[in-house]
Amino acid sequence: MEYLAITLSALLTTLFVVFVIVVFGFLLGGIKIKGISLGTAGVLLVAIVTGVIFYLCGNESGDTSWEIGSKTIVFWDSSVSNVFKLISNIGTAMFVTAVGLIAGPKFFRSFNKSMMAYVAMGVVVVLTGVAITVLISALDPNMNIAMGTGLLSGSLTSTPAFSAAKESAGALAGDVTAGYGIGYLYGVLGVVLFVQIMPKLLKVDIAKERESFVAANTIQIPDDGKKRVEIDEFGFFPFFLTIVLGFLIGCIKVPIGGGNYFSFGSSGGTLIAGLIVGHFGKVGPISLKVSKQTLNFFRELGLVLFLVGAGVPGGVKFVSAFNWIYIVYGIIMATVPMVLGFVLGKFVFKLSIFNNLGSITGGMTSTPALGSLIAVAGTDDVSSAYAATYPFALVLIVISCNLLVLLPF
């Protein structure tokens, strides 16, 4: 028994669990049904199931530990939760920074009439979700606005909005947390499946659409012509410098009244920093360019770490406040804005399928969905529509959730 305890204690560490989740997540994500697969989002699903298992094996305080012989093996407590939060934050920073650096060289050079379409798409997606939240919270006497706001922030997969709402909710912060955990599952998987299903429903010729999309998004980037100093051959220096700048931008707080503040947080800050650094590509004699291979590596690794770090705590929160009607509400809050935004992009703004879906992922502030869309489209250029929509949607959803919890119902 003692040998078993020592062996399990050595194996079942948080780090071991993380890699097990990734392995089984990729196995699950690789399964295709009629050409549709979860892809990297399979990691999220396995992570959420792991969180559910941790919760179900726990005690009344929510901690999960097993006594085997003289050894205590801890699966879940506040310290483990903090580890997964750190993993999630690192993953988000890496993924969003890579997206910003990839889109940066073309982003500011491609401002045109489509930019207003992207702004409008972000506004429509977020405000539709807000309107549905207010309506449901007002009509259902068993659900308060704090739970509704949590569901909305989870459905739009917005951690900054969740944090802002929780801070403003006061005594009802627990309801915001529970709603976020419930809404988050479909908020991620729903958008991931949406960007795969819509091209199939519309019978889009992906290869032909990609060819015309790439041609339309071809932008001449000026050649610097000067030889710059490269600090390291892999581009790690400029990449991590961009993350540092992003965190500094994310720390800036702008007052929005009532003692509340808005900030872009680490995700919004790193995206903005990535776009700026990617655009200029240098500072003085020093090159800040990062190779495409390095950016692709950090983007995919960051996405995986984000899904693991967010999925396990999300599973714990999901089962702790499980309620079928709340799940239905979360599905409505995520699906209706997506569909309405897509219709607007297709019939009003006449966006191409890839720009339309890219803007939807930005409006839903969905990191995993962008990764899935890149895989479907076969080109990184779809990141531009995401990057154009994301900041406006993020600002609006954070401010909205900050104010929603103050409503008197």
Judged by average pLDDT, the poorest of 63-72, 110-119, 233-242, 360-369 is: 63-72
Instruction: Compute the distance between CA of residue 37 and CA of residue 398 in angstroms, rounded to an integer.
Output: 31
* Closest listed residue to residue 251, CA positions, set 265, 267, 262: 265
Residue 10 has pLDDT above 70, yes or no: no
Residue 292 has pLDDT above 90, yes or no: no
261 contact partners, CB below 8 Å, separation of at least 6: 253, 254, 255
Question: Pairing between strand 282-283 and 71-76?
Answer: unpaired
The more confident residue out of 333 and 60 is 333
* Better-predicted residue by pLDDT, 139 or 88: 139
Residue 74: pLDDT band by 50, 70, 90 thresholds? low
* pLDDT more than 90, % of the chain: 24
Q: Note whether 294 and 29 are within 8 A (CB).
A: no
The 8 Å CB, 24+ separation contacts for 202-207 are 202/353, 204/353, 206/376, 206/377, 206/378
Is 70 exceeded by the pLDDT of residue 76? no
pTM here is: 0.75
Could you report the per-residue pLDDT of 208-220, keeping only the tens digit for each? 988 888 887 777 7
Average pLDDT over residues 109-133: 86
The CA distance from 184 to 52, in Å, is 14
- Segment 222-238 shows an average pLDDT of 83
Band (pLDDT 50/70/90 cuts) for residue 398 is confident
DSSP 126-150: HHHHHHHHHHHHHH-TTS-HHHHHH
At residue 233's C-alpha, the angle toward residues 227 and 235, to 5°, is 90
Token pair of 65 as six digits:
């530990």
User: 170 Cβ partners below 8 Å, 6+ apart?
Assistant: none
pLDDT score recorded for residue 70: 58
Which pLDDT belongs to residue 248?
93
The percentage of the chain sitting over the pLDDT mark of 70, rounded to a whole number, equals 87
Average pLDDT for the chain:
82
Tell me what pLDDT residue 60 has.
Answer: 44
Mean pLDDT to the nearest integer, 154-160: 81
Residues 73-94, mean pLDDT to the nearest whole number: 78
What does residue 287 show for φ and ψ, rounded to 5 degrees? -80, 135
The segment with the largest mean pLDDT, out of 1-5, 179-183, 357-361, 362-366, is 357-361
Weakest-pLDDT range from 57-61, 163-167, 376-380? 57-61
Q: Is 383 exposed, middle or buried (0-12, 13-18, 19+ CB in 10 A)?
A: buried
Beta strand residue intervals within 284-342, DSSP E = 286-287
Cα separation of 159 and 107, whole Å? 25
Q: Is 19 exposed, middle or buried (0-12, 13-18, 19+ CB in 10 A)?
A: exposed
User: Which residue ranges make up each domain of the chain?
Assistant: 2-217+227-404
**More confidently predicted of 181 and 340:** 340
CA separation for the pair 20, 311 (Å, rounded): 13
Q: Write down the number of H helices and E strands in the chain.
A: 16, 6
- The set of residues, in sequence order, having a beta carbon less than 8 Å from that of 337 and lying 6+ positions away, is 124, 125, 126, 128, 129, 132, 156, 363, 364
2 — pLDDT class (breaks 50, 70, 90) = low
pLDDT bin (cut points 50, 70, 90) of residue 89 is: confident
Class of domain 2-217+227-404: mainly alpha
Instruction: Please indicate whether residue 123 or residue 116 has the higher confidence score (pLDDT).
Output: 123
How far is it, in rounded angstroms, from Cα 98 to Cα 270? 9
Q: What share of the chain is helix, strand, coil (3-state, %, to 5)?
A: 75, 5, 20
Quote the radius of gyration of the chain (alpha carbons, Å): 21
Q: By CB neighbour count within 10 A (0-12 exposed, 13-18 middle, 19+ buried), where does 339 fall?
A: middle
Name which of 45, 81, 83, 39 is nearest 64 in CA terms.
Answer: 81
User: What angle is formed at CA 151 by the lines to CA 330 and CA 53, rounded to 5 degrees?
Assistant: 85
pLDDT in tens, 25-66: 999 988 888 777 777 778 888 988 888 887 777 654 455 555
pLDDT score of 5: 53
Q: What is the mean pLDDT of residues 180-196?
A: 86
- Give the angle subtended at the CA of 17 by the CAs of 304 and 267, to the nearest 5°: 30
One-letter amino acid identity for 125? V
Residue type, 272: I
Q: Is 32 exposed, middle or buried (0-12, 13-18, 19+ CB in 10 A)?
A: exposed
64 φ, ψ (degrees, to nearest 5): -125, 110
Contact between residue 369 and residue 337 where contact means Cβ atoms under 8 Å apart: no
Which residue type, as a one-letter code, is found at position 197? I
Backbone φ, ψ for residue 337 (5° rounding): -60, -40
Angle 181-47-171 from CA coordinates, rounded to 5°: 20
* Per-residue model confidence (pLDDT) at position 355: 92
Identity of residue 320: S
